[in-house]
Amino acid sequence: MSSLKAFSTAGRRSVVRSLPAGLAIALAVVASAQPPVTFIVGEGTGNPGDVAELPVSLESGGTRPAALTLILEYDPEKVSPEETYYQFVQEDLEGEPTVATAPVRPDQTLLDAQKLVSHNIPFPGQLRLVIVGLNTLEIGDGPLVTAAFRLVSGGSGEFVAVVGGDESSATSAGAAEIPVAFVDGGILVGCDPAEAPSAVQATQGLKDRVEVTWDPVATPGAQYRVYRSDDADPAHAVPLGMGWESATRFSDVTARPAQTSGGFACCPPGEVIVFQYYYWVKARTASGCESAFSAAPALGYRGAAKSRPGEEAGVIGDGVFLGGAMALLLCAHVMRASGRVRRPEGRTSHDSGVQCGL
C-alpha cells in the first residue's frame, strides 16, 4: 500500500498518487509514452448519520480506457457504502418494472460508452467496481461514477478520506494495460443542514405511479430526495430514484400497482388489492448537508393498472395483512364513476394470519 494513504486527517487535502514505486520503475518507459489514467475522487460533507455522495471522474491523459477496475478504500469505522442508495428500474421478461439497488450510479461518460458497472464489497474497508462493455467503445474523460457513503462517525472538522486502491486497473480497447493514478477525496465532517421539507403529499389511485409533492424550503440551492417505506417508521425508509433533484415533485413508478383479487381472505373475486406506502422527503444544501426527514409521512398507493370502462379503484377498507407481510394491503372494490363506493358488511377472518377489519 502507498505510504501516502491515510483514512482520516485533521483537515481537507488532495493527494495525487500513482502506482507503487516498484511497478512505477518497471513501467517507466511505457509511462513516458503513455500518461496514466487518473481517477479523481471528489469531496462531500455531512454529519454523522448522513449519506455523502462522492463523484469520481476520469482523466485519460491520452489513451482512453475501454475497461476499468476501480477500488475505493475507506475506514469502516468512519464510513460505509450505502448499498441501497441508488435505484435502477428495469423491465423483466413480462415487461414489468423491477428495481435493483447499488451504492454507486454510473455517470455520463459511462452512459455514453454503454458500459456496465458491477460492485462488491470483498471486506469492510474496500468497495470494488468493475466497469466493462464492448472493447470497441472507449470511456471518455469526465464524470465516471458517484458513490454513496454513510458517515458513521467523526468529529466536527475531521476529514475522513476515501482513497484509491493500488489494485485498480485500466485497459485499452486493444486490451493493453494503462498506468493508473489517483487524486484522493473524502468527507468533511460537520455542516449546517438544510431545513426539512413540509407539506408532503402523495397521490392515491393513479394507475401508473404515485406522485409525491412538497413545498420548497428556503435554503438557497436546495435539492431533494424522496424516501419510502412499507410502514410508518422512517428508520425503514429507503431513498428512491437516482439522486438528488431540485424539483419539488417525484413520480414513484416502482410502487406496486393495485391488483384484482382472485378470491382470498376478506377479498372476494373482483375486488382490488392496494399496496400502501409511506413517503418522506429530505432536503440538502448546495454543499451536500442534508436535513432531517419531513415530519409526518404521506400515504400513497397506485390504482389498478386496468379497469372496466367507467370504473376506477376505490378504497373500501383498511387493515389487511397477509402472513405478516410488510406491505399493508387494503381491500378495495370497484367504484362507479359517480364516486359512490359500496362497502360490504364488516367481517373478520383469521385464516393463515389474515386479519380483516372492513
Of residues 153, 170, 191, the one with CA closest to residue 74: 153
With the CA atoms of 238, 88, 101 and 197 taken in that order, what torsion angle do they form, in degrees rounded to the nearest 10? -20
Q: Element (H or E) spanning 310, and its range? A: none
50: cell is 448522513
pLDDT beyond 70 at 342? no
Residue 158 CA to residue 288 CA, distance in Å, equals 16
Q: How confident is the model at residue 164 (pLDDT cuts 50, 70, 90)?
A: very high
pTM of the model: 0.71
pLDDT tens for residues 12-69?
A: 444 555 545 444 444 444 444 578 999 999 999 999 999 999 999 999 988 899 999 9
| Weakest mean pLDDT among 36-50, 64-78, 314-328 | 314-328
Q: Is the dihedral of CA 105, 109, 113, 118 positive or negative?
A: negative
Is 156 a residue whose pLDDT tops 60? yes
Q: Are 46 and 52 in contact (CB under 8 A)?
A: yes
Q: Which of 82, 131, 84 is nearest to 241 (CA)?
A: 84
Q: How far is Cα 215 from Cα 61, in angstroms, rounded to an integer?
A: 45
C-alpha cell at 42: 471528489
User: What is the pLDDT at residue 78?
Assistant: 97
> What is the Cα–Cα distance from 86 to 146, expressed in whole angstroms?
10
Q: Which of 130-134, 153-157, 294-298, 309-313 has the lowest mean pLDDT?
A: 309-313
For domain 198-353, give the CATH superfamily.
Answer: Immunoglobulins (2.60.40.10)
Q: What are phi and psi of 35, to 5 degrees?
A: -60, 155
DSSP 38: E
Q: Domain-by-domain residue ranges, the chain?
A: 8-189, 198-353
Q: What is the band of 344 on the pLDDT scale with cuts at 50, 70, 90?
A: very low
Q: How far apart are CA 226 and CA 228, in angstroms?
A: 7
The phi-psi region of residue 234 (left if phi > 0; otherwise alpha if psi is between -120 and 50; otherwise beta) is: alpha
Write out the three cell numbers for 114.
454503454
Give yes or no on whether 8-189 and 198-353 have one common fold: yes
Write down the pLDDT at residue 241. 86
The fold of 8-189 is: Immunoglobulin-like (2.60.40)
pLDDT over threshold 70, residue 258: yes
For residue 328, give Cα distances in angstroms to 203, 227, 273: 16, 17, 10
Per-residue pLDDT reduced to its tens digit, 182-238: 999 999 999 999 999 999 999 999 999 999 999 999 999 999 999 999 999 998 998
